[in-house]
Amino acid sequence: MHAVAVTDFGARPEIMHLPVPAPGPGEILLRIYAAGMNPFDWKVADGALRGAVPHAFPLILGNDAAGVVEETGSGVTRFQPGDQVFGQVMNLPRGQGAYADYAVASADGHLARIPGGLPYTVAAALPTASATAYNAIEASAAGSGQTILINGAAGGVGQSAVQFAAARGAMVLATASPAAAGQIRDLGASHIIDHTQGPTADQVRAAHPAAIDAVLDLVSTPATAGALHELAALVRPGGIVISTNGAADVEALTARGIRAVNFSNKTSAELLATLADQASAGKLRVRIDAEVPLAEAPAAIAAARTGHARGKTVIIP
C-alpha cells in the first residue's frame, strides 16, 4: 500500500510502499477513503511523544480516518465488512497512522459508524478537531449570559468551538483575520477580533469593557505564554482559562482566583457518534479547506505547518 511516513523523529515525510497490515483478534482492517490532517500529526512525527510512548519506524502519519471495513479479525461483532466507519487509528508502537491506503484499528476503540449521506471527507475531519472543541467548551462551562473569547477561531478546532459555545447560548468573541471574519461570524461569533490590527487583549477591552467569563486559547504555546496571560487579565475572578497547547501557568492564574486548565483531549466512540450525527443534521458545520491526493500530502504538511489554515485539510488516498 501507499503511505506517508517518516523514518525517524524529525525526518521529512515521504511517500512509501509498505505492506497492508492484517487485523488481529478484535481488530478491523479499514480501507481509508479520507484522512483528516491535524497539527498533532506532525508534532508526533517531530517527537512530541518521544519517551512517553514506544514508536515504530517507518511511522505512518495521521490519526483521523474514514473509510470502509475491509476485513475483521476474530471475535469482532461490532463491525462487519462493508460498514462505513470513521475515527482515530494512530498506533505508534506499530508505526501505524491514517495517511495510508489501509489501517488496522481496534473494533472497540475510537471508531463509530458514518451516518448515511455524510461524506467521508467530513467524517475524517471530525475526530480530533471537533472532539477537542466539544470537550474544551464543555470544560469551560460557558453558557447563557456568559462571554467566552476563542483565540484562534479560524482553524479546525476553533470553528467547531465557536459553534458549540454559541449553541450553549454564550456570547462568543473570536479572533480571526478579515478574510475569515464573515465565516466565523456566520458560525455564531458575536464579535470578531482582528488579531492583525493590534494586541488582542486591547481590542477585547475596547469591544467588551466588562470582564469576560472564559478564554479558550488555541494559539499560545509555552514559548508565547505571555500572550495568554494578557488574555487571562480579561477574565473575572472565578472565570476559566483553557489552553490546548500547555501555555497556562496554572499556579499563577489560580493565585489570581482564575481556574486554569492545560487541556488534554480524550475522545470516545460515543462522542464521535454524537459529532457525526450533528454534522449529518447540519448542526455542526465543518469547512474543508482542501482535499489533497496522498501523493501531494508531504507538500501539504509543509504548507500546513505555517499555521494559516482556515479550515480542514483532508488527504485522499
Residue 59, judged by CB atoms within 10 A of its CB (0-12, 13-18, 19+), counts as buried
Same domain, 136 and 114: no
Kindly state whether residue 40 falls inside one of the protein's structural domains: yes
289 vs 80, which has greater pLDDT? 80
Alpha helices in 48-175 (DSSP H): 120-125, 127-140, 156-167
pLDDT tops 70 at residue 289: yes
Kindly state whether residue 92 falls inside one of the protein's structural domains: yes
Report pLDDT digits (tens) over 244-269.
Answer: 999 999 999 999 999 999 999 999 99
Same domain, 174 and 249: yes
Residue 125, judged by CB atoms within 10 A of its CB (0-12, 13-18, 19+), counts as buried
Report pLDDT digits (tens) over 26-69.
Answer: 999 999 999 999 999 999 999 999 999 999 999 999 999 999 99
Please give the pLDDT value at position 229.
92
Q: Which domain CATH number covers 156? A: 3.40.50.720
Same domain, 22 and 106: yes
Give the percent of the chain with pLDDT over 90: 95
Kindly state whether residue 34 falls inside one of the protein's structural domains: yes
Kindly state whether residue 104 falls inside one of the protein's structural domains: yes
224 φ, ψ to 5°?
Answer: -120, 30
Q: Give the pLDDT band of residue 305 (cuts 50, 70, 90).
A: confident
Q: Which residues contact 72 (CB under 8 A, 6 or more apart)?
A: 23, 27, 28, 29, 79, 80, 81, 107
Kindly state whether residue 45 falls inside one of the protein's structural domains: yes
Kindly state whether residue 267 falls inside one of the protein's structural domains: no
Same domain, 97 and 146: no
Same domain, 194 and 252: yes
Please give the pLDDT value at position 309.
63
Q: Are 130 and 122 in contact (CB under 8 A)?
A: no
Kindly state whether residue 277 falls inside one of the protein's structural domains: no
pLDDT tops 80 at residue 311: no
Same domain, 255 and 296: no
pLDDT tops 70 at residue 170: yes
Domain of residue 234: give its range: 129-262
pLDDT tops 90 at residue 287: yes
Q: Are 33 and 316 in contact (CB under 8 A)?
A: yes
Our count of domains for the chain comes to: 2
Report pLDDT digits (tens) over 182-241.
Answer: 999 999 999 999 988 889 999 999 989 999 999 999 999 999 999 999 999 999 999 999
Q: What is the pTM of this model?
A: 0.95
**For residue 101, which of 73, 75, 67 has the smallest C-alpha distance?**
67
Same domain, 101 and 165: no
Same domain, 16 and 65: yes
Same domain, 224 and 108: no
Report pLDDT digits (tens) over 119-156.
Answer: 999 999 999 999 999 999 999 999 999 999 999 999 99
Same domain, 31 and 93: yes
Report pLDDT digits (tens) over 89-107.
Answer: 999 999 999 999 999 999 9
Same domain, 93 and 168: no
Kindly state whether residue 270 falls inside one of the protein's structural domains: no
Same domain, 255 and 136: yes
Q: Which domain CATH number covers 50? A: 3.90.180.10
Please give the pLDDT value at position 308.
63
